[in-house]
Structure 1
Amino acid sequence: MDSLQSMYTLLLSPCIYVPENYCVGVQSINNAGKRFWTPTVADSVKPLIRMVFNSIESAFTFYNEFTIQGDFEAIKSSSKFPEDASGNKYISHKYFVCSKHGFNQVKDKNTKKDLQCSAEISVADFGEVSTLDSDKKKKKSKKRKRPSLKVGCCACFVINLNSDNKYQVFKFTDKHNHISVPPEHIKHLKSQRKLFNSQKYFLFQLGQSGIGSNKGYRVLSKVHGGHELVGASKNDCKNWKRDVNKYILKADAEMYDMVFIPYIGIDNHFKCVTFGAALLAKEDVHSYDWLLKAFKKAFPVEPQIVMTDQDPSMVIAVQSVFFTTRHRLYILQSDWIICKNIGSICKRIGSICKQIGFNLQED
């Protein structure tokens, strides 16, 4: 009975699970009894105060190297946008925090108000800080309830703009109030997941065969030998497919501004045959030259006669690609009617000009 009671006491007592044979860094306890973990990394990737970077992206790349060795993930947080003398806004401070920084919004059932828990990082010294989501309007839609991974971690990496228009390290805190991610789970972090070009091409070919991204991910897992060896998640495949569809839709809309050029000829039975077609963005010599070379690659034998319209670019391209072909120009029916009746048209124009009092001088 005592052993059963001790087991219940152990299960109900607050504790933090630490995997066996896994070093979580240097553990410390503050005066309030809270435990913190400092990752053990090489000094070459550890940020130092007043370290200078050329841009925000270079600073974030350097901090990512530190996070990879420290077995946690960093995200871009808030920024400060002051105004210069001319009224233009610029980024003076940029925050990079742990992915478990802050807390999710908790809705109070009694007051029906959103209560935001405060984190240990204070930005009172820098004034108001604008976040990326502050300007976005919140949609009134029901969200699926899911557990939160945010525990109010206080680890941060802050840079500010110095007098040389470069960013330097202003604040750096490497203490976490949670254990790091185990090495076998590092590949599941968002920053470590990636689809390679060969995998993207494979998913695209499966999409051409009518296989969606969900089934395509299953095929990838079978090819690689397991889900953990793919290097990406199912949502990554779905997001990539969404981006591809957006790009193709945009490209289809732009194709309406392109020039459609068909290859039409006569076969041995004196029947009209369409050999192929092409879409060109420009009607210049370079585009026509590429088009005729592609046709010559598909049909090695040059045609005996080529008939085109009166485009001067096409005339130059045909002479530079087809050496044994006779090139002839054709005139549209409307152009033929105008040329045939040009005399009567000129007389008609002359009579109209005389009626309105406009004198024509004959050369």
Structure 2
Amino acid sequence: MNMNIIDLNKPCQEAIQEEQEVIEQEYEQESECINFEPFTGQCFLSEEEAYLFYHKYAKQHGFSVRKTRFDKNKDGKIKRRDFVCHREGFQQSKIADPVMKQRNTASTRCDCKAHMRVKLKKSFEIFPEQWHVTEFVAIHNHELLSQEEVRFLPSYRFMTNDDEKRILLLKDGGLNVKQIMRVIELEKNVRHGHLSFTSKDVHNFFSRFRTEKAKNDVLDFLEYCKIAKKENKNFQYCVKLDDERKINAYDMPLGIFVGVDNHGRSILFGCALLRNETKSTFSWLMRTFVSMMKKTPKSILTDQDPWMTQAIAEEMPLTKHAFCIWHITSKFAFNKTCLLLDTQEEFENRWPQVIEKYKLEKNKHVVGLHSIRHSWVPSYLREHFFAGMTTTGRCESFNAFIKRFTTSRICLSLFIKQVDLAIEDIEQNQLQVRMLEKYRGASLRTLSPLEEQHKTS
């Protein structure tokens, strides 16, 4: 049985919003050059029309309004309404919870008495009921804002449905909030900083959108993977549930498997979102990767994570595991002098001299580096094929690419789509390289006769 929640009020809400926009546009046109002010006895056809009139008046005079007190008749119909300055009254004090983190936001309320009261009544017995202004107080007890300042009040900031769709589209294109704002300014031919919403509103919109998407996030993610597997025979995925048969959807580290193709370009073999960085998790990761690739890699390059090292040794016993040399040499510059040595014997002879020179005989880190020299010293790795890779820089480049489109708070369903985008980008680059190779012919990187023979064969 499936259950879907339908908002039956949405069409009505949209209709009301459209009506408000039409009325407000009419007031904009009529009062563009008129400095109007409410007066006692003024009539309106509806409560909403009265509110929009006072709303427009408030914007011109540097404040915003809100609806407050009202009276109803015996039938429950509102017959009186007050519209007040947004700084009316005082903020009610809240009981602070010492456990919860409190937001340090001061109230702007200062008991301002400016307001407009309207009442539903007839002017004459033969006339229909209308909303009459019965009270109007124009004096404020605070400084009013200028026209440049008043537009920043929440009441005058808004996004249309078209704005939201455009913002999401630009976000999918990899633009950050500042870039999105600038593009929309240019599209609407609006002065910089004069959109009807601010960058904070865009951030808040993204938060609401993520919250809404999160309701069915895991289900959408799994459904996307199922469809992708049907449409692409090369697409594979694997999901492991926790002890409660749930997926930990957030705050998960991302693991990336990157290699080199026959054109010397980076290629993404796969990626994984991990529950944690323990040995058991890394073991599952390596075991799953080998299962999907149908064979173990000849070599693998990682950082010096001890749990990952143990997992690789157990799950890939025939794979040569090496450590990223940048992580090692960036901490100790003297190590670089040992990297240019051709043989293992030269390294073993040179290493004690370096230790003595820098007085590092008791340095535990340096002693540890020597114990794992078979996994990072070039002279010990020459017999193994690493396709020219000595660092995890290619993984870092992919990580940076994916971060252009994602954040740590992105939904799973959106994340997998962005990973697909990264893969498609790689495939298109490879296709272009193959085309150029056929069109121009392969270019030699060395003067080796072996490479020349491979080109002509």
TM-score using structure 1 length: 0.41
TM-score normalised by structure 2 residue count:
0.33
More strand by share: 1
Q: Which has the higher helix share?
A: 2
Please say which structure displays the higher CA radius of gyration. 1
